[in-house]
Structure 1
């Protein structure tokens, strides 16, 4: 019996890798279910004939490449074992519903071709692919310019496969005569996850990256550190994590980072680190109190300017030379751990009250200097830390737009600087691209996944009021704000999947301006989330961004298509569950079983 188990797997290393799974003969079964693809491809044509089975003796041949090998092993297993049965049948099918006649062949061979096997996983890499499942014969073809395009095609191929309606056993089926030509609309399709305020286990991060790959998203923006904790172990600055983390068991090692980066490549997901500075750095003070100002103080002291937007306060002191010694060591270590050419350097939310609390900075300001000069000194001095590693620096747009402290845009060359915009919508994004910057759209009003979950600050008596007696129905960060109407969530309301889906990040721009918007990211700031709830916070809402960034959010008539996408999104949510992702429900199950009967307007 043991010998039989070992004989099932045969891996042959030749000019191409061949993976074969040997089992019994296939048999033909009927199909009466639709195909639901997410994100929907840019171009797809369907054959008129019945589906065919996927042979259990499926061969996949492909060029020798370490990351591609891991991806093929994963997706081949998924193709043969997922046994997906769609939850509902669309009233407007995306593929023909077929009555099967006996076919004399099944899909036995997937042939993969890559034109540029050496192209690395970096921003702008070609992710296009062509997939053809033949009208006749048993060989499907997947062709792409790069390995990363192949991985996108493997995801699509996997979603084409399903079980016949009403059947839970037997062999899966696939439409034949299918031709797909696909590529992303935006090069940057990402998710920011904050691991400082609450810690996420490595497996939580790996699962999140895998889900990103399933949604053809290609960026995991890892907001690693913040004021609350410094959970990353660094060889040259070990005290930062040893003293600034939440303690043993709440630290990411070099080995952890390597595992996360390697896993990301399996799914075509880049891992971009963010070390936010000079703000959001109170956690550094545990190791180096001399370089952090206003630490160990209450964040909103009575009668003076606030020290932070939220606890705990602390910002690096740009006037202290020691600051740059420590910061350079941090950048050097982090740059060596993450191969991506992007490095996010933060630079958002400088709080003047904190810097003003420093005697050094008070003296500097009395000498007719400004807060802008202090931030400029930090940015100008630290930029070489990134460029020495050939990194393109990403900053939050605050660095040039903040009313608190900002840098002259001429000092941040657009050729080596990308700005991430988190407020002001497409109008602000437009103003940034008009200055020549490439921009990542992450506007709080559409793309913040932590909004709408209520207040997390304790002892806030401003929430102790009648909802109906709160005429403004608003809440600001400050204790003086009102908040009964929104439960104290500063960025309420909750951002639904359709709100995320329908947002146009290039609205009002010319075609040339829109080219500088490289894509978008949804953001999960983790004051109220950790690994226990991360799946439901992220999915399937993040999938909405995945499709809008991959193939757009409008149909052929130019109309927003979130209504049309509801059936596919509902089905995709259940498929994510099958794949081990705890995505939250979007509608009652009745709505899934009665297509478009839960629409508010009858348009289909």
Structure 2
């Protein structure tokens, strides 16, 4: 008898695990011999997971005809908050089919309180506070949701969370449970790298990605804007660089384009950090100024002779020429005038010593300056570059390569650790690299785990899950060394990515990185429950116009991509406005 009972319970367990409803979503296992596990999230479960969230079964409704937003700030002096209140009201009321719900108490107002009487509404920075609290309802007003934040940037994160905890029932009515939230990020640097040099990225795709970043509480857009393949940055000082270095006259970013991207990002609390990668990755700029590159002696006799696959006719900026450093100073100055963030990324990766080694003039230059090794020459280039960077008022980040090569950096350097054995079998594991950088005392950002341009069949455990389980501080070292990690970033390199597939390849895989960088690691170790929560969030992204790829079998409940309305990116002025029926309109 007990065997029969066990079998009955087993069948019931499999049936429950086979079909799961999580808010909008209806999910099925990828194979029925692999039932879905984890705890079913309730409707309106936010992503990334807040530090503290308490929800009861008490339900409130939202009347789309009566909802208003107020704040204690004078929004005439804070366009960021004014724009956000308007934008998030549209997002909450995204679907014109929404109807009033007559049986529950109604939330009529969302009040945003900023505790700083003189808040900075200009641009987010490395030290901006993103802490916030939500009370729904307000302790003293049952018809009001209350948001409190130290800064407008925290208010933006709160408004995003508020939109996510609101859900709909089968009658297209807006509901929200009684909720109290206190939240702040684990790391201040939570970035996405986009590469617009290997393939040009249309501006509207970049803007759409900024919307997705805001949904996932990323706060840094690392713009790898130029590389060997193309130089789409339209320089006023040296206009012939993009004229000869861009793919075509169409494939450029003007000062107005960049301003629009920066402004769009600012409205979402996102910093824009440009990367001007040198001394390698500079072939595109050398199309206008060939002498910038070092001639390579592939036959050990003549200049401009390649030795494939080690180097081409010329490689790496020429550190012997004063024009190299004048040119770079001018470019840093123009970047400082164009981009608003206090930081610039200097690249400094993959410098070809082989080309320098082949050049007899380089050898003579090194000897005359007392240099006995090529890392001394690299240090010479970096030191002169950093003088220019500081001269124009920039702080800086760079890749780990100079540290690997034994170059001494200044104490204020921020180093991005990007190497890992899964990227290249000749490399070491990222934990060993980051430990080496930590022992040098530099602040660090990890990207090695999160090269999202690498794809494989997303069988459970083989895709977003490995991104989710990578912790930037999971290496052997002292507490002081682990505290040097200030964040991480997900990278979408552009060799095989352009405007057609960037968003679907990036999302919701980058969402896994977002939660690892924002949330308490002790509360985010259950990968099975995270899978169900992430699928719900993926449906939320679809509803707001982001073509996020599926991670499970099933569908998004009452919403289906290309069959129901979505909202386009909208910042009040620069983006597309209103509700649109398809992604084709987004990119038109």
TM over 0.5: yes
For 1:328 and 1:377, how far apart are their aligned partners in 2? 15
Contact 2:43 2:167 in 1 (8 A): no
Displacement of 1:167 after TM fit? 2.4
What is the DSSP-based 3-state SS (H/G/I as helix, E as strand, rest coil) of the residue aligned with 1:142?
strand
Question: In the aligned structure 2, how far is the partner of 1:288 from the partner of 1:526?
Answer: 25
SS in structure 2 of the partner of residue 71 of structure 1: helix
Instruction: Give the equivalent residue in structure 1 for 2:166.
Output: 161
- SS of the residue aligned with 1:395? strand
Q: Give the aligned partner of residue 7 of structure 2.
A: none
Deviation at 1:362, TM superposition (A): 3.7
CA contact (8 A) 1:434 1:513 kept: yes
What is the match of residue 84 of structure 2? 71
Number of the residue aligned with 2:530: 565
- Higher relative contact order (CA closer than 8 Å, sequence separation 6+): 2
Alignment of 1:204-283 (within 5 A): 204-283=205-284
Provide the rounded CA distance (Å) in 2 between the counterparts of 1:350 and 1:387.
22
Q: Which runs of 5+ in 1 are unaligned?
A: 1-31, 86-99, 455-492, 594-604
Secondary structure at the aligned position of 2:414 is classed as strand
- Report deviation, 1:249: 0.8
Q: TM-score, structure 2 length as denominator?
A: 0.78
Q: 1:155 to 1:304 in 2, by over 3 A?
A: closer
Once the 2 structures are TM-superposed, how far is the Cα of residue 430 of structure 1 from its aligned partner?
A: 2.5
Specify the SS of the correspondent of 1:37: coil
Q: Which shifted more, 233-242 or 524-533?
A: 233-242
1:84–1:161 CA contact under 8 A, matched in 2: no
Shift of 1:385: 1.8
The 1:363–1:391 alpha-carbon spacing in structure 2 relative to 1, beyond 3 Å, is same
Cα shift at 1:37: 1.1
Deviations along 1:244-265, one digit per CA (max 9) or x if unpaired, are: 1101110000001100000001
Specify the alignment match of 1:551 in structure 2.
Answer: 519
Is 1:435 aligned to 2:431, yes or no?
A: no
Specify whether residues 524 and 553 from structure 1 end up closer, same or farther in structure 2 by C-alpha distance, changes over 3 A only. Answer: same
> Number of paired residues?
489
Who is 2:60 aligned against? Answer: 51
1:141 aligns with 2:149: no
Instruction: Give per-residue Cα distances to partners, 1:292-338, cap 9 Å, x unaligned.
Output: 1248999x988667017xxx963211111111111111110011111
> Is the CA contact (8 Å cut-off) linking 2:539 and 2:556 kept in structure 1?
no
Give matches, 1:234-383, under 5 Å.
234-294=235-295, 306-307=310-311, 314-365=315-366, 369=371, 370-383=373-386
Residues 251-280 of structure 1, C-alpha deviation per residue, up to 9 Å, x if partnerless?
000001100000001111110000000011
Residue 297 of structure 2 contacts residue 355 of structure 2 at CA under 8 Å; is this kept in 1? no
Contact 1:40 1:547 (8 Å CA) reproduced: yes
Question: In structure 2, how many angstroms separate the alpha carbons of the residues matched to 1:530 and 1:433?
Answer: 35
Cα offset for 1:583?
1.0
For 1:387 and 1:262, the matched residues in 2 are separated by 25
Cα distance change of structure 1 residues 429 and 592 upon mapping to structure 2, 3 Å threshold: farther
Q: Which residue of 2 aligns with 1:490?
A: none
Q: Contact 1:307/1:352 (CA < 8 Å) preserved in 2?
A: no
> Which secondary structure does the structure 1 equivalent of 2:182 belong to?
strand
Structure 1 pair 592/578, CA: closer, same or farther in 2 (3 Å)?
Answer: closer
Partner of 1:3: none
Cα separation, partners in 2 of 1:302 and 1:286, compared to 1, 3 Å: closer
Of 500, 510, 515, the match for 1:542: 510
The two structures have a TM-score, normalised by structure 1, of 0.76
> Which segments of 5 or more consecutive residues in structure 2 lack a partner in the other structure?
1-40, 420-428, 559-588
Map 1:447-458 → 2, pairs under 5 A: 447-452=450-455
Q: Which residue of 1 aligns with 2:13?
A: none
Instruction: Show the counterpart of 1:418.
Output: 414
Question: 1:451, 1:495 within 8 Å by CA — same for their partners in 2?
Answer: no
Q: 1:115 to 1:295 in 2, by over 3 A?
A: farther
The answer for the alignment partner of 1:503 in structure 2 is: 470
Task: Please report the RMSD computed on the Cα atoms of aligned residues, expressed in angstroms.
Answer: 2.8
Find the counterpart in structure 2 of residue 121 from structure 1.
124
Please state if 1:579 is matched with 2:544: yes
Once residues 87 and 43 of structure 2 are traced to their aligned partners in structure 1, the CA distance between those partners, rounded to angstroms, is: 24
| Shift in Å, 1:378 | 1.2
Question: What corresponds to 1:476 in structure 2?
Answer: none
Question: Aligned to 2:176, which of 171, 174, 177?
Answer: 174
Q: CA, structure 1 residues 590+238, in 2 after alignment: closer, same or farther (shift >3 Å)?
A: closer
**How far off its partner does 1:421 sit?**
0.4
User: 1-side partners of 2:467 and 2:417: how far apart?
Assistant: 15
The 8 Å contact of residues 345 and 397 in structure 2, kept in 1 or not, is answered as yes
Of 493, 496, 504, 1:528 maps to 496
Q: 1:514 aligns with which of 459, 468, 482?
A: 482
**How far apart in 1 are the matches of 2:309 and 2:94?**
60
